[in-house]
């Protein structure tokens, strides 16, 4: 095996390297503890935008504390977003179940006729079967014992991964009196002219997929601050940015959650917490690094 060219550096070496590149470290002991508990490369992600690659130096005034505070901000932001995305997910599971039950069959998810692409349907069903098989939930065991292993939709939907739930929804057939038409009515929005509009399957699917991505980022403690994505959900005309942004990120994720919110009350409470968090870290947070427009509040708030 080819030897890796870089040498292993101690915590002391890493701090010295940051200092040599212009980062001030006022408390060496605190910096050492932070690096040992969090990890140098995880923390380095919050210093990217302070670094001038041309000069090979951090911008004047960059401190280790500012980087650490951005990490703490990201942790609190991630926790807040994870909680809200979980509420969206739980409501979606319940609403999907109710929409499917309108056809009157507890095992309706086993019927390929309600799905567009049959090959995708069988792939998704295979994933669901594996998820059911791995589950040790009491309600799954109950159906094994009492109903010959038949799992009704209200039980199956509870053990689907969020990603598989997204795939099931995006593969539903559309049209009048279909389960999707019933589900979509839970997410009616106002047009620019103030009219009620039922979202299309493409819109709902893009919103769910965005939240799945965000949820995974939060679950894996990934950096959200100063991070862009090439996955752009379908944004309503009233929330479009003009000119269109070069990068997409938190703003689009937030809008996806707004569109799929479980209730207006729950969403407005989240927005208040989000604003409070921004105010708490206002000294350190650059709003541009969150890809939030100047009028973000008017887009997120619901009267």
153-207 confidence digits (pLDDT tens): 999 999 999 999 999 999 999 999 999 999 999 999 998 888 999 999 999 999 9
Average per-residue pLDDT in the chain? 95
CA distance 47 to 41: 10
Which of left, alpha, beta for 39 (phi over 0: left; psi -120 to 50: alpha)? left
Q: Which two tokens stand for residue 160?
A: 């689907």
Contact 183, 99 (CB under 8 A): yes
CA distance 257 to 233: 11
Predicted pLDDT at 303: 76
- Mean pLDDT to the nearest integer, 254-262: 97
CA distance 178 to 175: 6
Q: What is the CB-side half-sphere exposure of residue 216 using CA atoms within 13 A?
A: 9
Q: Is the confidence at residue 59, as pLDDT, over 80?
A: yes
Q: Which two tokens stand for residue 223?
A: 């950096």
Return the axis-axis angle of helices 162-170 and 201-219, rounded to nearest 10°: 170
Strand partners, 63: 24
Contact 122, 144 (CB under 8 A): no
Helix (H, G, I), strand (E, B) or coil at 64: helix
CA distance 128 to 168: 10
Q: What is the biggest distance separating any 2 CA atoms in the chain, rounded to whole angstroms?
A: 70
- Using alpha carbons, list the distances in angstroms from residue 243 to 179, 239, 255: 37, 12, 18
Contact 92, 260 (CB under 8 A): yes
Enumerate residues 6+ apart whose C-beta is below 8 A from 166: 205, 208, 209, 212
- Of the chain, the end-to-end C-alpha distance in Å amounts to 62
Helix (H, G, I), strand (E, B) or coil at 63: strand
DSSP code of residue 9 = -
Predicted pLDDT at 211: 97
pTM: 0.93
DSSP code of residue 8 = P
Strand partners, 189: 197
- Mean pLDDT to the nearest integer, 73-98: 98
The verdict on whether omega for the bond into residue 243 sits within 30 degrees of 0, i.e. cis, is yes
Most confident of 4-13, 139-148, 230-239: 139-148
Predicted pLDDT at 8: 84
Helices (H), 223-263: 250-259
């Amino acid at each position: 095996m080819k030897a890796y060219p870089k040498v292993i550096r101690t915590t002391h070496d890493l701090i010295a390297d940051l200092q040599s590149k212009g980062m001030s470290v006022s408390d060496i002991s605190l910096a050492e503890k932070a690096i040992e508990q969090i990890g140098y490369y995880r923390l380095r992600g919050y210093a990217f935008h302070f670094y001038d690659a041309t000069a090979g130096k951090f911008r004047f005034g960059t401190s280790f504390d500012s980087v650490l505070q951005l990490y703490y901000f990201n942790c609190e932001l991630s926790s807040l977003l994870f909680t809200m995305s979980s509420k969206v997910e739980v409501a979606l599971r319940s609403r999907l179940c109710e929409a499917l039950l309108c056809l009157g069959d507890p095992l309706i998810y086993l019927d390929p006729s309600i799905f567009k692409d049959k090959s995708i349907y069988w792939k998704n069903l295979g994933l669901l079967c594996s998820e059911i098989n791995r589950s040790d939930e009491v309600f799954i065991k109950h159906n094994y014992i009492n109903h010959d292993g038949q799992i009704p939709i209200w039980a199956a939907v509870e053990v689907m991964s969020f990603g598989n739930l997204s795939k099931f929804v995006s593969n539903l057939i559309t049209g009048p009196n279909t389960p999707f038409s019933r589900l979509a009515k839970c997410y009616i929005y106002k047009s620019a002219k103030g009219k009620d509009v039922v979202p299309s399957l493409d819109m709902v699917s893009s919103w769910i997929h965005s939240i799945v991505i965000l949820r995974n980022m939060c679950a894996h403690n990934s950096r959200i601050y100063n991070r862009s994505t090439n996955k752009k959900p379908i944004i309503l005309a009233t929330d479009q940015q003009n000119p269109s942004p070069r990068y997409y990120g938190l703003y689009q994720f937030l809008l996806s959650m707004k569109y799929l919110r479980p209730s207006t009350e729950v969403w407005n409470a989240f927005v208040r917490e989000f604003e409070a968090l921004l105010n708490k870290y206002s000294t350190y947070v650059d709003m541009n690094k969150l890809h939030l427009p100047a009028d973000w509040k008017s887009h997120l708030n619901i009267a």
